[in-house]
Amino acid sequence: MTTSTTGGPPAADLDERRAGTSTARFVAGKAGGALASLVFVMVLGFLLFRMIPGDPVATMTRDRPTSPEQLAQLRERLGVDEPLWRQFLDYALGLLSGDLGTSYLYNRPVATMIGERLWPTVLLVGTATVLAVALGMWLGIRAAWKRDSAFDRVHTGVALTLWSVPQFWLGLLLLIATQGLFPSRGMRSPDLPEGFLAQTLDVAWHLTLPCVTLLAVIYAQYMLVMRSSLLEEMGSEYLTTARAKGLRDDLVRRRHAVPNALLPAVTLVFLQFGMVVSGTVTVEAVFSWPGLGLLTYDALRGPDLPLLQGVFVVLAGSVIVMNLLAELLYRVLDPRVRAA
């Protein structure tokens, strides 16, 4: 906290109080903004998916002989023929009471379906993101420090190449190249092994390929951001000072340069964490990973409107919440933001 140099304790007190209210105002403002975005998302989620062409009833009955009466009955049960404002009212009221509706195709509560799919996605994308951040930053720091070295050139090249590779292609390639060393689908074996440890290892075994695929494609962004922001810091005079104190190069980098260069990377990490929940449709589709990305993809084929709306609200909501968290955390991380 700032301390006053001119006045006594009362002035400091005042300052503190002012800072307190400004923090509260800041938090309230950001939260209000996030709330407004959520409402917007809610309305958009409803309207957007009604623009998709297609008749869910036709999809549901595609494989079975169906009479016109049956179709009419189904329409009535699902409420697809109700006026739009009615449907919206049902949807909005349901949402306010925490009810995301019932899936057309599967006739199960949307919230339950999303709940089932949430943790596989968080596991997959979360693990891949953590690894990508760690790997990307580590490589980025070293690449920047030894700019134009062989290490820098090779790693920047490799990262950029992988970054531009389509995920599904890389996934399939890995699948074929590993020749059955790793399972080609899903999160668990068809026959579940006994015991918690064995099951955990089973999941880890299944996680390897999708996780490596995702990691390979996304680590480049962390590496390049870290590299460039460290390069910016490298000319700074405080580094010269640090060296003049006789610090080893490693320490100069770790204790002085990197902390200052970290901010853009942290921003990126948080923005990406919002996306963690939304998963990754392509990787999930290649490896039949039962996550939210896949659920969205399946719902689109219906179109299963309640499911789509539910997924959309949850995904958009998580991005908004993560952004809010990032903004709040920024104030803690960077004194300059606090002062502004």
Angle between helices 9-50 and 305-333 (to 10 degrees): 160
- For residue 134, the minimal CB distance to another protein (Å) is 5
Measure the CA–CA gap between 114 and 183, rounded to whole angstroms: 24
Question: In the structure encoding, which two tokens stand for residue 175, read together?
Answer: 């699948």
Residue 148 found at the interface with another protein (CB under 8 A) = no
Q: Which is nearer to another protein, 12 or 118 (CB)?
A: 118
Minimum gap (Å) between residue 337 Cβ and another protein:
24
* Phi (first) and psi of residue 109, to 5 degrees: -60, 130
Structure tokens at 217: 């494609």
**Closer to another protein at the Cβ: 25 or 254?**
254
Which range binds another protein by CB under 8 A, 70-78, 144-152, 269-277, 322-330?
70-78
Give yes or no for residue 66 binding another protein (CB under 8 A). yes
DSSP summary character for residue 192: P
Closer of 138 and 163 to another protein (Cβ): 138
What's the DSSP call for residue 102? B
CB of 107 to another protein, least distance (A): 5
Residues in region 299-338 near another protein by CB under 8 A:
301, 303
Q: If 0-12 CB within 10 Å is exposed, 13-18 middle and 19+ buried, where does residue 28 land? A: exposed
For residue 120, cis peptide bond before it (omega within 30 degrees of 0): no
CA atoms of 240 and 235, how far apart (whole Å): 8
Does 238 contact another protein by CB under 8 A? no
- In angstroms, give the least distance from the CB of 285 to another protein: 5
Q: Which of 118, 186, 264, 275 touches another protein (CB under 8 A)?
A: 186
Tell me the torsion sign for CA atoms 275, 105, 116, 284.
Answer: negative
By CB under 8 A, residue 226 contacts another protein: no
Q: Are 191 and 108 in contact (CB under 8 A)?
A: no
The angle, 0 to 180 degrees and rounded to 10, between the axes of the packed helices 258-276 and 110-145 is: 160
Q: How many residues bind another protein (CB under 8 A)?
A: 81
Indicate whether 274 belongs to the interface with another protein (CB under 8 A): no
CA torsion, points 41, 42, 47, 52, in degrees to nearest 10? 80
Q: Does 140 bind another protein (CB under 8 A)?
A: no
| 59/87 with CB nearer another protein | 59
By CB under 8 A, which span of 53-61, 150-158, 232-240, 308-316 interacts with another protein?
A: 53-61
CB of 186 to another protein, least distance (A): 6
Residue 251 found at the interface with another protein (CB under 8 A): yes
Retrieve residue 187's tokens: 């999160």
Query: Under a CB-based contact definition with an 8 Å cutoff, are residues 56 and 302 in contact?
Result: yes
* Residue 59 lies near another protein (rule: CB under 8 A): yes
Which of the residues 73 through 132 are near another protein (CB under 8 A)? 73-75, 77, 81, 105-109, 116, 127, 130-131
For residue 145, the minimal CB distance to another protein (Å) is: 14
Q: Which is nearer to another protein, 37 or 222 (CB)?
A: 222
Task: Please list every residue from 202 through 221 that binds another protein, using CB under 8 A.
Answer: 202, 204-205, 207-208, 211
- Give the dihedral sign, CA 136/334/255/145: positive
